[in-house]
């Protein structure tokens, strides 16, 4: 990197994002009060366009868990669940969700709780535990739950059969919702929702790709929270504007030679769900080591890039079927390898989450695969999504320092290292 | 040229003072709670052994978990890198270093230039570390050295199912209550550590060429070393003083950086 670099402040888009999030939750609370819409709690890659098209207020307990983690409130919810006898190693997104629910029902002061649901929708394309989590929610809230079964996309499976299977269930979902709400499903409204979603998805994926530029105008941790609009609000036309403005801001940084921090030395890949409670520690540590996280396959979880208003039902089914976590490990490894190539990254940090086995279990394979294919260094750190009892700053620090030292000593430009 | 490396570990602090090329002296003290004081003391002690004073040392590199509490160090470096540097210095054909210390265990893969190419460390709990053996020995009412001796006499190794140190303690108590011979419990405990460390080693793709070097306090326990060697089906080399290898590596880093600013 030349010497003429300028260090950027916080992206203006972070403020806009903050407002989008606050407005979303404020609106949900107002809806709960006024009862003008039914509230549904759903999973990341369920066929949620159907819910928006039928005018539900749609809330995401997984996103809520991430917020609780980042705001250091999740431990309270996790503890409530543990006090009820749920075990410590249970997925902590689930423990957070059940804990806040129990706290809400029992008047125990949960952190900014999601307004109570009238209905639950779950797709098992992230893991099978999530269905059990939702079953407990259904039991505690005493509301119906609909489950969308999403067979795993693995080599040899007839993908069109999987899509057909999901599409059939979407038909059932629509019939159920018509009965539940007393309203007729409107295909044109779905088309409009999917159109907004496809614009938003395009904006989101284009925005993520700007970090291919060398040097990257932002760190991946700066970009990551911006999955929220494409996940939660993509049915709204204005979300595409958020990404348009964000791209403008990032491109401007590139033009002006602005980088996110001083002394950026290494372009590094991040794998896994972030440790939400440790973002500040990790950001500071990585910056001090000159490591710029550039991108992650995690962003692909929120891409919803199959959305196509010309094929609304099929494309909604495809987004559900082709959800990144519903793919086989070989696909993920090849996808990750391509990211290393496209973003010209020299190494990877794999963030093993102790309580999310479905995501974490593939990490050894993927880290090993890219290491062998590209000769890059990988390190696996250990922690958790929202429960800091699984995380050790000191140990993580040593791992990251060693990783940075190894990157330094293996840098060809440094030549033969002295030791 | 006089340089030093100081390794502030969770239980013991080590220093190596290096003069010219290969003349060195080391010192070792329990870490305690005053990290600065112990760091100063080990370095001073090693310097005195060599007939020098603290002020004669031209550059100091600190490593280990207390590395940031050593204000007189010119640099800090992670113990994994220092360990690899030290092990490679003593054995240039080393390609895998296994270090089991008081509260952590590490597997480090190095290449033919002595660079770290992969590494793994135990997670938060003390399973697979020296602490596990200490707690187990205390529960059995013997020293760690006696535990190793007992283990070698076992004819029927018991499987300890708890890898967690606290649960293992309970398990030992119930094995004693069932009159299980101490020798067999001791052998089971050694096996438990070795199987954890073996998993750690395999997680980095250790390869099957080059020398395997074992360092850290637990490398003095020949029952562990021979059990790990037979589990890995590899020979394991233990340096004469396995506890100071990391501090030695830090001293070498100090030497390489002397005059670099
Ligand atoms: S285990 Fe992982 S994938 Fe499953 S619900 Fe929890 S966080 Fe999501």
- For residues B9 and B69, state if they share a domain: yes
Tell me which residue range forms the domain holding B158.
93-238
Residue B189, in any domain of the structure: yes
Q: What is the pLDDT of residue A119?
A: 98
A277: DSSP letter: G
- Kindly state whether residues B234 and B249 are assigned to the same domain: no
Q: What is the pLDDT of residue B42?
A: 92
CB distance A359 to ligand 1 below 6 Å: yes
Does B150 reside within a domain? yes
Statement to judge: residues B174 and B112 lie in one domain = yes
Q: Is A81 a domain residue?
A: yes
Q: Do B104 and B225 share a domain, yes or no? A: yes
Judged by CB atoms closer than 8 Å, whether chains meet at A380 and B115 is answered as no
Task: DSSP for A370-401, please give it.
Answer: HHHHH--EEEEEEE-SS-GGG--HHHHHHHHH
A17 pocket-lining for ligand 1 (C-beta < 6 Å): no
- Residue B179 and residue B213 in one domain: yes
> Is B88 inside a domain boundary?
no
Rg over alpha carbons for chain A, rounded to the nearest Å, is: 22
Identify the pLDDT of residue A414.
Answer: 30
Write down the pLDDT at residue A104: 95
Alpha helices in A182-311 (DSSP H): 187-209, 220-223, 227-232, 238-256, 279-288
CATH number of B24's domain? 3.30.420.40
> Cα–Cα distance between A78 and A82 in angstroms, integer?
6
Residues B134 and B209 grouped into a single domain: yes
Confidence label for A77 from pLDDT (cuts 50, 70 and 90): very high
Residue B21's pLDDT is what? 66
Q: How far is the CA of A128 from the centre of ligand 1 (A)?
A: 8
Distance CA A218, CA A250 (A): 8
Q: What is the residue with the minimal CA distance to atom 2 of ligand 1?
A: A356
Does the beta-carbon distance from B118 to A380 stay under 8 Å? no
Q: What is the pLDDT of residues A249-268, one digit of tens each?
A: 999 999 999 999 988 999 99
Question: Alpha-carbon distance B126 to B135, whole Å?
Answer: 10
Question: Is there a domain that residue B86 lies in?
Answer: no
Shared domain for B181 and B228, answered yes or no, is yes
A199 domain-assigned:
no
Q: Which residue has the higher pLDDT, A306 or B152?
A: A306
A69 domain-assigned: yes
What's the residue count for chain A?
Answer: 419
User: CA A46, CA A317: separation in Å to the nearest integer?
Assistant: 9
User: A63 is in which domain, residue-wise?
Assistant: 16-187
DSSP β-bridge partners for residue B6: B15, B62
Tokens coding B146? 């006696």
B85 part of a folded domain: no
The residue contributing the CA closest to ligand 1 atom 5 is: A130
- Give the CB-side neighbour count of residue B46, counting CA atoms within 13 A: 31
Burial of A417 (0-12, 13-18, 19+ CB in 10 A): middle
pLDDT tens sequence for chain B (261 residues)? 899 999 998 888 999 999 986 677 887 888 888 888 999 999 999 999 888 999 999 999 999 988 988 999 999 999 999 999 999 999 999 999 999 987 888 999 999 999 998 898 877 666 677 778 888 788 888 888 888 888 888 888 778 776 666 667 778 777 877 888 888 888 888 888 898 899 889 988 888 889 999 999 889 888 899 999 999 999 999 999 999 999 999 999 999 998 765
Task: Determine the average pLDDT of the residues in A378-397.
Answer: 91
Residue B132 lies in a domain: yes
Q: Is residue A48 part of a domain?
A: yes
**How many A from CA of A134 to the centre of ligand 1?**
12
C-alpha span between A184 and B233 (Å, rounded): 70
Tokens of B123: 């997670």
Asked if A398 and B116 come within 8 Å (Cβ–Cβ), the reply is: no
CB of A93 closer than 6 angstroms to any ligand 1 atom: yes
Atom 7 (ligand 1) nearest CA: A356
**Alpha carbon distance A319, A44 (integer Å):** 11
According to DSSP, the β-strands at B116-121 and B105-110 are antiparallel
Q: Which two tokens stand for residue B74?
A: 């010119």
Q: Are B229 and B83 in contact (CB under 8 A)?
A: no
Give the tens place of pLDDT for each residue, A15-36: 999 999 999 999 999 999 999 9
Q: Of all atoms in ligand 1, which is nearest to the CA of residue A273?
A: 7
Q: Are residues B51 and B98 in the same domain?
A: no
- Give the number of domains in chain A: 1
Residues of A in contact with B246 (CB under 8 A): none
Q: How far apart (Å, rounded) are the C-alpha atoms in residues B29 and B39? A: 9
Q: What is the domain-level CATH number for residue A67?
A: 3.40.50.11890
Residues whose CB falls within 8 Å of the CB of residue A190, separated by 6 or more in sequence, listed in order? A49, A50, A53, A312, A313, A316
> Do residues A240 and A356 make contact, with C-beta atoms less than 8 angstroms apart?
no
For A171-206, write each residue's pLDDT tens digit.
Answer: 999 999 999 999 999 999 999 999 999 999 999 999
| Same-domain status, B72 and B126 | no
Q: Is A253 exposed, middle or buried (0-12, 13-18, 19+ CB in 10 A)?
A: buried
Q: Which of A364, A368, A406 sits opposite B116 (nearest CB)?
A: A406
The answer, for A402 touching chain B at a CB cutoff of 8 Å, is yes
Query: What integer pLDDT is reported at residue B132 of this predicted model?
Result: 80
The alpha carbon of residue B14 and the mean position of all alpha carbons in its chain are separated, in whole angstroms, by 11
- Give the length of chain B: 261
Answer whether residue B166 is part of any domain. Answer: yes
Crossing angle of helices B130-140 and B165-177, in 10° steps, is: 30
In the prediction, which pLDDT does A258 show?
Answer: 92
User: By mean pLDDT, which of A78-87, A102-111, B25-34 is the weakest?
Assistant: B25-34
Q: Is the peptide bond before A215 cis (omega within 30 degrees of 0)?
A: yes
> How far is residue A107's CA from residue A348's CA, in Å, rounded to a whole number?
44
Within an 8 Å CB–CB cutoff, is residue A390 touching chain B?
A: yes
Cα–Cα distances in Å, from B239 out to A80, A271, B16, B129? 51, 38, 15, 19
Q: Which two tokens stand for residue A291?
A: 């490591």
Taking an 8 Å cut-off on Cβ atoms, the answer to whether A418 and B80 are in contact is no
Residues β-bridged to residue A268: A293, A347
Task: For ligand 1, pick from A45, A68, A127 the residue to mutate: most ligand atoms within 8 Å of CB.
Answer: A127
Does B111 lie in the same domain as B70? no
Whole-angstrom Cα distance, residue B89 to residue B16?
A: 14
pLDDT at residue A413, as a whole number: 33
**Strand-pair category, B105-110 with B94-100:** antiparallel
Decide if B87 is inside a domain: no
Distance CA B172, CA B160 (A): 8
Q: What is the ipTM of this complex?
A: 0.79
E runs forming strands in B34-137: 59-63, 75-76, 94-100, 105-110, 116-121
**A344 within some domain:** no
Tens of pLDDT, residue by residue over A109-141, are 899 999 999 999 999 999 999 999 999 999 999
Question: Structurally, how many domains does chain B consist of?
Answer: 2
Determine the Cα–Cα distance for residues A4 and A220; give it in Å rounded to an integer. 22
This prediction has a pTM of 0.88
Claim to verify: residue B33 and residue B112 sit in the same structural domain: no
């Amino acid at each position: 990197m030349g010497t003429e670099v300028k260090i950027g402040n916080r992206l203006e888009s972070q403020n806009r994002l903050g407002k989008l999030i606050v407005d979303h939750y404020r609106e949900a609370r107002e809806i709960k009060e006024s009862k003008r819409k039914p509230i549904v709690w759903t999973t990341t890659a369920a066929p949620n366009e159907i819910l928006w098209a039928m005018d539900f207020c749609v809330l995401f307990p997984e996103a809520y868990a991430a917020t609780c983690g980042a705001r250091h409130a999740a431990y309270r919810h996790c503890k409530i669940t543990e006090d009820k006898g749920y075990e410590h190693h249970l997925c902590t997104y689930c423990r957070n969700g059940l804990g806040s629910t129990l706290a809400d029902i029992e008047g125990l002061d949960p952190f900014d709780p999601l307004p109570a649901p009238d209905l639950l929708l779950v797709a098992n394309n992230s893991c099978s535990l999530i269905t059990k989590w939702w079953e407990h929610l259904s039991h505690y809230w005493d509301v119906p739950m609909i489950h969308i079964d999403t067979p795993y996309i693995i080599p040899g499976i007839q993908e069109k059969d999987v899509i057909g299977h999901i599409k059939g269930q979407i038909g059932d979902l629509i019939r159920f919702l018509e009965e539940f709400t007393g309203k007729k499903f409107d295909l044109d409204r779905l088309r409009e929702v999917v159109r907004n979603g496809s614009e938003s998805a395009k904006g989101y994926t284009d925005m993520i790709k700007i970090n291919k530029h060398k040097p990257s105008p932002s760190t991946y941790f700066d970009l990551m929270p911006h999955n929220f609009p494409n996940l939660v609000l993509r049915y709204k036309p204005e979300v595409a504007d958020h990404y348009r403005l964000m791209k403008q801001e990032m491109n401007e940084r590139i033009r002006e030679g602005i980088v996110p921090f001083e002394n950026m030395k290494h372009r590094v890949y991040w794998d896994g769900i972030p440790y939400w409670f440790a973002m500040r520690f990790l950001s500071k540590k990585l910056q001090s080591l000159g490591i710029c996280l550039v991108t992650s396959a995690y962003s692909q979880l929120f891409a919803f890039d199959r959305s196509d208003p010309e094929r609304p039902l099929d494309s909604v089914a495809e987004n559900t079927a082709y959800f990144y976590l519903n793919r086989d490990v070989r696909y993920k490894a090849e996808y990750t390898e391509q990211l290393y190539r496209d973003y010209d990254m020299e190494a990877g940090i794999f963030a093993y989450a102790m309580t999310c086995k479905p995501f974490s279990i593939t990490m050894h394979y993927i880290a090993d695969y890219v290491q062998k294919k590209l000769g890059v260094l990988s390190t696996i750190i250990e922690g958790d999504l929202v429960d800091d009892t699984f995380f050790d700053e000191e140990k993580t620090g040593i791992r990251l320092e060693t990783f940075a030292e190894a990157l330094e000593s293996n840098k060809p430009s440094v030549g033969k290292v002295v030791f | 040229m006089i340089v030093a490396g100081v390794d502030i570990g969770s239980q013991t602090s080590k220093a190596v003072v290096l003069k010219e090329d290969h003349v060195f002296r080391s010192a070792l003290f329990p870490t305690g709670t005053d990290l600065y004081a112990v760091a100063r003391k080990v370095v001073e002690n090693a310097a005195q052994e060599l007939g020098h004073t603290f002020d004669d040392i031209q550059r100091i590199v600190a490593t280990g978990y207390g590395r940031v509490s050593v204000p007189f160090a010119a640099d800090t470096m992670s113990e994994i890198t220092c360990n690899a540097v030290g092990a490679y210095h003593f054995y240039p054909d080393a390609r895998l270093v296994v270090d089991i210390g008081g509260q952590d265990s590490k597997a480090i893969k190095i290449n033919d230039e002595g660079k770290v190419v992969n590494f793994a460390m135990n997670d938060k709990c003390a399973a697979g570390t020296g602490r596990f053996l200490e707690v187990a020995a205390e529960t059995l009412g013997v020293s760690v050295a006696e535990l190793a001796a007992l283990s070698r006499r076992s004819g029927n190794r018991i499987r300890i199912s708890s890898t967690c140190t606290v649960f293992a303690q309970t398990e030992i108590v119930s094995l004693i209550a069932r009159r299980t011979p101490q020798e067999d419990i001791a052998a089971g405990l050694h096996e438990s550590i070795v199987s954890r460390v073996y998993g750690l080693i395999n997680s980095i793709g250790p390869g099957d060429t080059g020398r395997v070097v074992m360092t850290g306090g637990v490398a003095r326990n020949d029952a562990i070393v021979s059990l790990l060697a037979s589990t890995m089906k590899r020979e394991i080399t233990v340096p004469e003083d396995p506890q100071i290898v990391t501090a030695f590596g830090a001293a070498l880093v100090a030497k390489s950086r002397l005059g670099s600013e």
